[in-house]
Structure 1
Amino acid sequence: MARRALCIGINDYPGTDSDLSGCVNDAHDWGAMLQARGFTVSTLLDAQATRAAMHGAIETLVAAARSGDTVVLTYSGHGTWVEDEDGDEPDGRDEGLCPYDIGTAGPLLDDDLRALFDRRAAGVRLVLIADSCHSGSVHRGDDSALDAGGPRPRFMPPEVWMKAADLPQAPRASALTLIGGMRRAGGDLLLAGCRDEEFSWDTSFGGRPNGAFTFYALKTLREQKPGNYEQWHAAIRKYLPSTRLPQEPQIAGTRTVRKMPIFT
């Protein structure tokens, strides 16, 4: 049974004022952890992570998998949205990942991800880890490790990369919904940095930039050694949300999958 992973991290968004700081570190950190657990890891960082390259790498990751294999996709970068054109979104929005060349190529939408994920062979287990998006209410958790200064949300409003004449008219602020295309009845699992209507935050710890969700996810995995995904999610929730990091990490998957050993 093969184990393969693709870790994407994008700090640099040319032509915008929306550069981030912790996403490349996130990708390296996820990759190092997965390699230590026996995964073959590929990365796409900054200028490597064009829309075409992201689409092609995810396609390759999915196509190579056979029944019994586990594939992991991690994404750290901005999320965004466009107006839904095919009527499959109740909120009138298609959410997407922001590639390095979003200004010319546009986002990689949830519809695109759904089409890619649907090509998997039966029996392939998919774990998707998303550290990007949106804002909500303030709660209190332990954020004492967070450096001084303000964290930055990992959300890129459409007006940053889209021409004014093309701006969508959806009435609400967007969120990044990546669960489309994941098999709820199979071995799929989603770990996301926040609720649908919230931001995930880009910040730093001990002088080193990271996504808050990535930092605490890896910290708890390393220090507390949770036995399954449900325990891991509960451990992360001891840190998030907090007063300065108002994001509520999410887990999606069947009860059976949530209780499976991590990355098996």
Structure 2
Amino acid sequence: MLTIADARGFDSDIVLTTQATAETVKDAIHDAAQRLGNGDLFFCTYSGHGGQVPDRNGKEEPDGMDETWVLYDRQLVDDELYAIWGEFEAGVRILVLSDSCHSGTMTRDAAEIFEAVVPMIVERGLIDDDNPRTKCLPRNVQDVTYTQHRELYDDIQATHRTSGDVDLQAAVLLVSGCQDDQLSLDGQRNGLFTQTLRQVWHDGQFSGPYSRFHKEIVALMPPTQTPNLLPLGGGIQRFVREQPIAISP
């Protein structure tokens, strides 16, 4: 992703391992919200485990769970991210690419299909790993973590509005590596979503709007992992018609 960002002329910051704390990530996004104005593009990518915590501040989630990014010191709840997206002014475009997954459980049938498809994915060279892992936080780890830190996560939600209540002035395009009830595969260098995105990107030769970009990525993915495209906020229809990851509209 850094290669793509550099090729497009972005000023980039990478936050890895012990530096990737919740406050560091939030502060970086908050700083961007203060600096960027009409016509600017904020490009945010995340690659790592996804998790869930019980949704205590609203009923916007059909499964009763809020999604999270699993950072070094704690999980970053999606309500926190939506609050910061709400700080960006109108005319700013926000592109979020999240190569993670949040589903800690699958139905038995879905799990069997997933296991059957993985060898095909490896054989076709869709991922750079003979024994790929998934990017979700295991359900037992997720439950124990929430139980041990319940006050922390409940307080976070108590002090943040639900995502549906945030007034988004900026255009926000969220692209995730799979659907809420699916698992994302991870390889040695890139996750399957990231690797496929780079293939479609083709060193910047891709031409077309975000909708086509997403469609072509989906076409190359296995049926067990379908990237999701979620457009939100003001001016979003104009944003989705633009050339992907382009600073100039």
Instruction: Normalising by structure 1, report the TM-score.
Output: 0.71
Q: How many residues align?
A: 213
1:192: which partner in 2? 176
Structure 1 residue matching 2:96: 3-state secondary structure: strand
The TM-score with structure 2 as length reference comes to 0.75
Paired residues of 1:127 and 1:188 also in contact (CA < 8 A): yes
Question: Alignment identity in percent?
Answer: 31
Deviates more, 1:210-219 or 1:53-62: 53-62
Q: Does 2:239 match 1:239?
A: no
The equivalent residue for 1:38 is 9
Q: CA deviation at 1:163?
A: 4.8
Residue of structure 2 equivalent to 1:153: 134
Aligned-CA RMSD value:
2.7
Aligned 1:224-235 pairs, distance under 5 A? 225-235=206-216
Q: Of the candidates 92, 97, 118, which is equivalent to residue 64 of structure 2?
A: 92
> Retained in 2: the 8 A contact 1:159–1:167?
no
Q: Within 5 A, what are the aligned runs for 1:89-238? A: 89-90=60-61, 91-102=63-74, 107-134=75-102, 137=110, 138=113, 144-145=124-125, 146-147=127-128, 149-157=130-138, 159-160=140-141, 162-163=144-145, 165-166=147-148, 183=168, 187-204=171-188, 209-222=189-202, 225-238=206-219
Q: Shift of residue 150 of structure 1?
A: 2.4
The aligned runs of 1:64-103 (5 Å cut-off) are 64-90=35-61, 91-102=63-74
Deviations 1:232-253 (A, max 9, x none): 11221222125xxx21011122
**2:86–2:170 contact (8 Å) kept in structure 1:** no
**Structure 1 segments unaligned to the other structure (5+ residues):** 1-29, 169-178
Report the Cα distance in structure 1 between the residues aligned to 2:56 and 2:217, rounded to whole angstroms.
36
Say if 1:196 and 1:182 are closer, same or farther in 2 by CA, change over 3 A. farther
Instruction: Label 1:159 to 1:56 Cα distance change in 2 as closer, same or farther (>3 A).
Output: farther
The DSSP-based 3-state class of the residue aligned with 1:237 is: helix
Q: Which has the higher contact order (CA 8 A, sep 6+)?
A: 2
Task: Provide the secondary structure at the position in 2 that maps to 1:53.
Answer: helix
Deviation for aligned residue 1:45 = 0.9
Residue aligning to 1:252? 230
Partner of 1:13: none
Distance 1:60 1:88, change over 3 A: farther
CA separation in 2, counterparts of 1:63 and 1:187? 16
Letter in 2 for 1:37: R
CA distance in 1, matches of 2:76, 2:128: 32
Q: C-alpha displacement at 1:157, in angstroms?
A: 3.3
Letter in 2 for 1:154: K
In structure 2, list runs of 5 or more residues that go unmatched.
151-162
Rate the CA distance shift 1:122–1:186 in 2: closer, same or farther, 3 A: closer
**More helix, by proportion:** 2
**Partner in structure 1 of residue 245 of structure 2:** 263
CA distance in 1, matches of 2:228, 2:66: 19
The 1:218/1:164 distance shift into structure 2, 3 A limit, reads closer
